[in-house]
Chain A
Amino acid sequence: MITLKSVYKTFGNIEAVKNVSFNIGKGEIFGILGPNGAGKSTIVNILNTLVRPDRGDVIIDGINIRNDGNTIKLIMGVVPQEIALYEELSAYENLMFWGGLYNIPKPELRAKAIETLGIVDLVNRKDDRIKTFSGGMKRRINIACSLLHNPRILVLDEPTVGVDPQNRNHIFEVIERLNSEGMTIIYTTHYMEEAERFCDRIAIIDTGQIVAQGTLKELRHISGIEDPDSRGTNLESIYLKLTGKELRD
């Protein structure tokens, strides 16, 4: 479904992405883990055609992003890290606006907006302005706004930052539900337990390079931490071993 081949991207003197390659199969949940400034967001922006790679190929659903960026945008939904919503508009108005950008016919969009509000369990708050919502509710609407055009691929960029356990669990259930319906999911996070919970495969990225990728089992093998009960959370141990304990500011 998604293939990155030897992708490079430089901003000025900073090499944000260096020789990154991976494949993501259809219906897979692929996790991208990495410390701050590792290059996760640049990879997300390359996948969304917002950033053009200096070198390498990105093929999504058989389309090279250099040739047809607009089609990629139609088959991909992105949930940004920020709560990118209009606070003065209601939840429903936000959904109608964001969905409207994909030229969905109005009656279809209205039905889809209500359906999506149902998915994130906010139908009863549809007419309330976003500014009256809690952080968790905003996060849920943030996800809903990316689902209206029925994307085949959903990119979630740290979707649970600052969310309480109940809302977090709800977001996980939504992701699992969407994946069970066949949606391919790319998930970037700092939280190891999230990646451990539902990522089929994980890429650990540091200083613009993939330091390891594979299933949890494969990562254990690569890192040499075979015993899952040896030290705290398993993936966290692997992650720290592969990326080091040095602070990244």
Chain B
Amino acid sequence: MFKLFKKDLTLFLHDRRSVILSFFLPVILITLFAFAYGSIGSYNGRSEPVELLVADLDLTGSSKEIVNKIDSLEDIVVVVSDSVRSRELVIKGEYVSALIIYKGFQDSLKYGNSIPVELIYDRSREMEIGILQQNLISTIMSSTGKIIVNSSIERYMQDQFPDIDKNTRDAILKTAIRKDNNSLAVKWTSIVGERNDTKLGLIQAVAGTAILMLLFSVAGVGTSILEEKENGTIKRLLYSPLKGSTILYSKMLFAFFISVLQLTAMFLFAWLVLNMDMNVSMSGLILMIISTSFAVSSLGIFLAAIAKTRHQAQNLSTIIILVMSAIGGSMIPMFIMPAILQKIALVSVNYWGIQGFYDLFWRVLPLEEILPKILILMGIGVVMTILSIRLFRKRIMKL
């Protein structure tokens, strides 16, 4: 078996395209995705702030207070403009959104009417809109809410208790709307991923891309069996004292070896170049690399086993790998996917691999907690291996 393994390794190293596809391309993609997910190359590890056009047509104390509050937010930079120009700039795509505070804003707050504020935006830039929505709603609600409540109570007291003098009314209002009256406020505290310096986006970029690329290179190893069948070398191997099963096992061993090597190289790159925090369970990491490699390599061999020709195997592998990677979270993080897709993702090897690496690097869980995912990956590997052996005996080794 070692002789076949050595031959496959020599052939792999002789084929520059395979080496590039297996090692250099994933490194480039991981770096690009890490940039895209905002984990490296941006200030303080955060995404760039969103520029928001603001047209304040009211120009009152209340409207200015709101604008100042929005401007003080970390994720938003206010760019003052007028309403016509703001619309033009959003339509041209130069800005994602504009907030227009119409005349009568302060009076509406005072009299409890609907607030004349409009947010115009470019629907195609959903991610930036999401950031804006989250920040604007909380800022506008907290600022306007207080003014609305204040004026409502004041109006009620004037109607119901017109004889109360102004000083007493102010004292009642002051007590009712205390500045520190925030007993209902929810305290937001992040408790996951606080123990290390690794950014979520970087973990997504490394794990997602590594598994995706792993599948492609391992599928290449799988299809090489069909290539060998087509050019007659499998037949010639069978003329020798080798057993058919040895030929298959050596291919599986080689695919597994390449997978381990590739995953290890990706994490080393992420650690040395992208500053990924490796202060995690080492036994967990080693077992995750082994189980992911086993699952992915058996899947790659299985994809070759179900095809009849090399051409068919290549096309089939590409389709299945892309679909599985898309639903399994290699291309898009799982948490932004619809619930139904998150359930479907459970059938993909990418999902279990990526979630395992999340557990390891983001949640910093110990080995015992990651073990179920490792066992699922090993289970996928065992099932795929058994199916591949059966299919290969039936299709490939039959002359």
Residues of A within 8 A of B (CB): 45, 48, 50-51, 70, 73-74, 76, 78, 80-86, 88-89, 93, 97-98, 100-103, 129, 145
Contacts and interface: CB of A to CB of B under 8 A. Distances in A.
A89 B11 CA distance: 7
A135 B241 CA distance: 28
Interface stretch (B100-108, B178-186, B228-236, B368-376): B228-236
A73 B240 contact: yes
Contact of A101 (B15, B232, B240): B240
A70 B240 contact: no
A209 B255 CA distance: 44
Dominant secondary structure at the B interface: helix
Contacts of B242: 101
A101 B3 contact: yes
Given A45-B399, A48-B239, A88-B15, A97 B7 contact: yes
Q: Number of contact residues on B: which range applies? A: 10 to 19
Given A86-B11, A88-B11, A73 B233 contact: no
A100 B240 CA distance: 10
B44 interface: no
Contacts of A78: 236, 239
B360 to A, nearest CB: 37
Contact of A86 (B233, B240, B399): B233
15 contacts: A73-B239, A73-B240, A73-B241, A78-B236, A84-B233, A85-B233, A86-B11, A88-B10, A89-B7, A89-B11, A101-B3, A101-B240, A101-B242, A103-B241, A129-B14
Contact of B231 (A83, A97, A129): A83
B238 interface: yes
State the 8 A-B residue pairs at the shortest beta-carbon distance, nearest first: A82-B232, A84-B232, A84-B236, A101-B240, A88-B14, A78-B239, A84-B233, A73-B241
A101 B237 contact: yes
Nearest to B234: A84
A48 B242 CA distance: 13
Contacts of A80: 232, 235-236, 239
A145 B7 CA distance: 15
A23 B11 CA distance: 42
Contacts of B237: 101
Nearest to B232: A82
Interface string B1-28: 0010001001100110000000000000
B97 to A, nearest CB: 56
